[in-house]
């Protein structure tokens, strides 16, 4: 495919929605609204309308919270971890996985409030100074949850949006050409694109900033579900109090998240006509990764049973036997079948290269992972230390309706995303073409200064090939031209080396923000603890080990915000209009080289550009 074909295939789905799409929106909005009405009824009538009881005080709502946080993990895995590992197959599915992350975290964030019952009391856990000295307890894993999920949502949202900026510029230029600059669509995408012009300076800072976002998000994806698991592992209940929970939960989160990517991407590929961009190879690689995560989850199931037996703890062992052979055994074995045995079918190439098996297995994994979270939460509460305290639990229609409404809420946002934003990363897919066109060349003898002085004339050379752009830049540099700027729809890594760009100062912003977040997190937790100096859970007021969670989340959050500030400042992403010499074709399929050139140097410049065969030359006086 050419650059233009990739551009068109990715932006065509953003056209006028059809009747089927509008009907789907109405149905999902109705389902979400039904969940909202059930929540209103629960708020008015009280938590007695749910199946929650003694001893089962946590059930479907906390199951949904853990499930949706787990679904959110695949976006960061695909976008950040696989980006650092240079796995190129991630590109076609990364944008949709990132969007899924945002909407899943938004959905997950609703359930602690729904489970709280009294929604108006939620502000008690917000860390703000209060004359009543009602400060949150930073030793509690429930407060860690608030910090971890809030940080994860913020960082994922920034990471997703920054990845969208070059593609939003392509949408801006397309709608300007088709609808005119004053059309509402053109004005919206112009504002969202932040004045992106694809200049070499912008790509240079953008590349470093995106790398730092990926580096910050990678430990975050591991920490978030570890913190969620500590909601259970920090207690003393049998089946919960286990050191295996953090890796167990992280592996399960990635497992369910990858399955949800398959569930959403397979129909989306067909409905949006993305067959040329999202190929079977991408789904096959996802299926192979699911085989790995299914193996890890299966290993965790086996180790959990081994720990219960080898520990010699009678209560732990009887709880595990009740879970495996008791009245709820169907739930345990459903998890084993759906989460381990069924995904192993992807070992056979025939199963992982056909759309129907891919979709069916992904749906079964989603089902199994939801019941796994319910099984973990419910069985430990219903079968604890005291036989007279054993109990049962059945969800009511209120809980089931709110759960169904959460799926409608999530899918409503995702369906809106498919029409309003590019569902595949244009710049990254185009980058694969540029890599094939580029021929490595040596660096210039001197450093090229980016940008152009306003008082000198300039020449703009236009190319259709990234390799020729690189060749032209090297030739002009060797010819003595020291002030140049490039424009391209993709990041051409070799340009920074050829033109000897200085290292991006964005890294210092990121480092300063991370250090400020680390010290600020410990200061917040320590200062809060010293307000009342209470001994909580047998721990002294200043408990530095639990405070490490707060410090870590502060490091990632403030470091990411500082990284964003550095990118906006140095890439000049605070304008509505792009570079004065910008051509809208530079976001689609053309490359530009802008050289500062006096009138007496034009012929010499033309001779230096000749070997690269520029398609157009424009002289700007």
Would you state the pLDDT for residue 551? 94
Would you state the pLDDT for residue 617? 87
Would you state the pLDDT for residue 401? 96
- Measured CA angle at 426 (ends 420, 429), to 5 deg: 145
- Measured CA angle at 13 (ends 10, 18), to 5 deg: 175
State the CB neighbour count (10 A cutoff) for residue 102.
21
Would you state the pLDDT for residue 69? 92
Residues in the chain: 621
Would you state the pLDDT for residue 404? 95
Q: What is the pLDDT of residues 22-47, one digit of tens each?
A: 999 999 999 999 999 999 999 999 99
Would you state the pLDDT for residue 600? 78
Q: What is the pLDDT of residues 483-510, one digit of tens each?
A: 888 999 998 888 888 888 888 899 999 9
Low-confidence stretches of the chain (pLDDT beneath 70): 125, 127-134, 452-455
3-state secondary structure of 594: strand
Q: In what order do the strands lie in the sheet with 484-487?
A: 484-487, 591-596, 458-463, 616-620
Would you state the pLDDT for residue 603? 84
Contacts for 129 with CB less than 8 Å, ≥ 6 apart: none
- The torsion angles phi and psi of 617, rounded to 5 degrees, stand at -130, 125
Residue 370: HSE in the Cβ half-sphere, 13 Å Cα cutoff? 15
What is the Cα–Cα distance from 478 to 71, expressed in whole angstroms? 52
């Amino acid at each position: 495919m050419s650059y233009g074909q990739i551009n068109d295939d990715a932006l065509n789905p953003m056209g006028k929605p059809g009747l089927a799409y509008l009907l789907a929106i109405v149905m999902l909005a109705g389902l979400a609204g039904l969940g909202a009405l059930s929540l209103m009824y629960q708020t008015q009538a009280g938590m007695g309308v749910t199946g929650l009881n003694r001893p089962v005080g946590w059930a479907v709502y906390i199951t949904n919270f853990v499930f949706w946080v787990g679904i959110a993990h695949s976006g960061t895995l695909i976008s950040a971890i696989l980006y650092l590992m240079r796995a190129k197959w991630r590109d076609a599915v990364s944008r949709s996985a990132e969007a899924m992350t945002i909407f899943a975290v938004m959905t997950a964030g609703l359930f602690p409030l729904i489970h709280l019952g009294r929604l108006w009391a939620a502000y008690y856990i917000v860390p703000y100074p209060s004359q009543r000295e009602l400060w949150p307890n930073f030793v509690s894993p429930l407060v860690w949850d608030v910090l971890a999920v809030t940080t994860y949502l913020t960082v994922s949202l920034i990471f997703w949006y920054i990845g969208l900026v070059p593609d939003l510029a392509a949408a801006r230029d397309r709608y300007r050409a088709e609808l005119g600059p004053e059309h509402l669509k053109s004005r919206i995408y112009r504002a969202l694109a932040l004045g992106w012009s694809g200049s070499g300076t912008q790509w240079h800072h953008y590349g470093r900033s995106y790398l730092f976002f990926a580096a910050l998000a990678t430990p975050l994806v591991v920490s978030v579900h570890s913190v969620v698991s500590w909601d259970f592992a920090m207690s003393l209940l049998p089946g919960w109090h286990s050191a295996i929970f953090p890796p167990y939960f992280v592996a399960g989160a990635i497992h369910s998240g990858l399955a949800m990517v398959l569930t959403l991407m397979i129909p989306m590929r067909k409905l949006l006509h993305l067959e040329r961009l999202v190929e079977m190879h991408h789904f096959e690689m996802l299926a192979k990764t699911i085989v790995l995560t299914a193996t890890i989850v299966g290993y965790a199931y086996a180790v959990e049973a081994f720990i219960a037996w080898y520990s010699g703890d009678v209560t732990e062992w009887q709880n595990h036997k009740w879970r495996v052979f008791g009245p709820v055994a169907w739930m345990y074995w459903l998890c084993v079948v759906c989460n381990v045995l069924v995904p192993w079918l992807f070992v056979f190439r025939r199963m992982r290269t056909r759309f129907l098996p891919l979709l069916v297995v992904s749906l079964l994994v989603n089902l199994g992972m939801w019941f796994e979270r319910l099984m973990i939460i419910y069985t430990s509460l219903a079968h604890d230390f005291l036989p007279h305290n054993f109990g049962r639990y059945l969800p009511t229609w209120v809980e089931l309706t709110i759960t169904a409404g959460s799926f409608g809420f999530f899918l409503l946002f995702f369906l809106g995303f498919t029409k309003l934003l590019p569902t595949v990363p244009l710049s990254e897919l185009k980058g694969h073409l540029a890599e094939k066109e580029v021929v490595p060349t040596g660096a210039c003898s001197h450093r090229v200064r980016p940008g152009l002085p306003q008082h000198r004339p300039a020449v703009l050379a236009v190319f259709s090939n990234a390799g020729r752009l690189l060749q032209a830049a090297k030739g002009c540099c060797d010819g003595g031209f020291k002030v140049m700027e490039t424009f391209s729809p993709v990041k051409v890594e070799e340009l920074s080396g050829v033109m000897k760009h200085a290292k991006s100062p964005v890294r210092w912003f990121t480092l300063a923000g991370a250090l400020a977040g680390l010290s600020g997190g410990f200061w917040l937790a320590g200062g809060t603890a010293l307000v009342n100096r209470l001994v909580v859970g047998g721990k002294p007021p200043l408990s530095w080990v639990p405070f490490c969670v707060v410090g870590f989340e502060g490091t990632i959050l403030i470091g990411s915000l500082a990284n964003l500030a550095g990118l906006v400042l140095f890439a000049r992403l605070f304008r509505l209009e792009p570079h004065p010499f910008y051509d809208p074709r530079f976001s689609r399929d053309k490359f530009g080289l802008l050289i500062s050139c006096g009138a007496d140097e034009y012929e010499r410049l033309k001779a230096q550009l000749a070997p690269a065969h520029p398609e157009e030359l424009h002289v700007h006086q």
